[in-house]
Copies of this chain bind each other. A is one copy, B any other.
Amino acid sequence: MRSPQHPATDDIQLTEVLRALSDPVRLEILGRLAREGHLYCFELGAEMDLHKSTLSHHYRILREAGVTHTSQEGRRKRLTLRRDDLDARFPGLLDSILAAV
């Protein structure tokens, strides 16, 4: 299993971040990540009533946009928010979105 692709901080594009967050499911994931600090994919699978492959698709979009970081822990996958990177690149953006979620 190849390690997942994360864009470098400087390569995070505003249009991609905005597009990634313009979906209710991904906005919900973002809110959970912000509140809980991190989460395991299988936790969402148990709650969100979406096929696991659909969720996997959303994880990829968030990751490739630079919003989340994914790390492997055994057979589980752990998501965290790239808060520092996003704040460095687009100051205030994340906070204003999270305040509205």
Which A residues form the contact surface with B (CB < 8 A)?
14-16, 18-19, 21-24, 27, 89-93, 95-97, 99-101
Nearest-neighbor residue (CB-CB) of A24 within chain B: B15
Q: CA A23 – CA B22 in complex, angstroms?
A: 11
Nearest-neighbor residue (CB-CB) of A97 within chain B: B93
Q: What residues on B are CB-neighbors of A99 within 8 Å?
A: 90-92
Contact, CB under 8 Å: B21 / A18: yes
**Chain A residues touching B, majority SS:** helix
Number of copies: 2
Besides A14-B100, A15-B21, A18-B19, 13 other CB < 8 A contacts? A14-B97, A14-B101, A16-B22, A19-B22, A89-B100, A90-B99, A90-B100, A91-B99, A92-B92, A92-B96, A92-B99, A93-B93, A93-B100
Q: CA A15 – CA B97 in complex, angstroms?
A: 10
Q: CA A93 – CA B90 in complex, angstroms?
A: 11
- Could you say which of B15, B24, B27, B97 contacts A22, with CB atoms under 8 Å apart? B15
